[in-house]
Amino acid sequence: MANSKPRILNNNRDIVWSLIPLVIACLLIAGIASQCTLSPGGPKQGPIPNFDVDAALQYDASELSFPVRNPVVPEDWTPNSGSRQSIAGDQGGDVSNVGYISGAGRYIKLTQSSAVEEVLVPFTVGETRYASGSESLDGQEWVVYDQQGAEPVWVTDLGDVRLLITGSGTSEEFTQLAVATTNAAPLTP
């Protein structure tokens, strides 16, 4: 006669009793690896990555064929990211991106490129957008691409470079970054 119950007599209680040691083992391993935390009040803001925007934009200015600007942003803004890309094609070009976290915790990205606006906007936001308005700031006209459910995009043409701002920032934060960038002198290579 067999020592274990026939398979047909197993039920949900047997399954639960089998899973309890497995769950406890998983929690112990996660606890030992410090990969599991309990946060009863909800998620907390983690540390903002440190990014040297001055060095990155200075390097871009020495390597790229268009003038690169380093805007003076408010003190409570933190630069947190940067990248360089290339857009292929006749109207494409190099792209320099830097991202900031505003004092209110919103992400705002500044893109500087030699690509034309019609190529730069879909390349940056990944979709075709249509201009919905404009903003005139310190005599510089910014084309606004606003779409329901998507982050706004502001673009201006300074002749030898296009500036693009996007992100989850407010209109006031976009205005601060736009004015700071257009007022900044191009960096010397």
pLDDT-derived band at 110 (thresholds 50, 70, 90) equals very high
In angstroms, the Cα distances linking 56 to 9, 68, 127, 178 are 68, 11, 27, 19
Summarize pLDDT for 129-175 with one digit per residue, the tens. 888 888 898 888 999 998 888 899 999 999 999 999 999 999 999 99
Q: Is the pLDDT of residue 47 over 70?
A: yes
> Rounded to an integer, what distance in angstroms lies between the CA atom of residue 111 and that of residue 163?
6
Q: Which two tokens stand for residue 134?
A: 């404009």
pTM: 0.77
Question: How many structural domains are present in the chain?
Answer: 1
Element (H, E) at 165: strand 162-167
Does 110 map to a domain?
yes
Does 94 map to a domain?
yes
Q: pLDDT over 90 for what percent of the chain? A: 58
> Rounded to an integer, what distance in angstroms lies between the CA atom of residue 167 and that of residue 150?
9
In 3-state terms, what secondary structure has residue 6? coil
pLDDT-derived band at 9 (thresholds 50, 70, 90) equals low
> Rounded to an integer, what distance in angstroms lies between the CA atom of residue 168 and that of residue 153?
10
3-state per-residue secondary structure call for 15-50 = HHHHHHHHHHHHHHHHHHCCCCCCCCCCCCCCCCCC
Which segment of 33-37, 113-117, 152-156 scores lowest on mean pLDDT? 33-37
pLDDT-derived band at 2 (thresholds 50, 70, 90) equals low
CB atoms inside a 10 Å sphere around CB 100: 25
Backbone φ and ψ for 27, nearest 5 degrees, come out as: -65, -40
Domain range for 102 = 53-183
CATH number at residue 60: 3.30.200.100
Does 15 map to a domain?
no
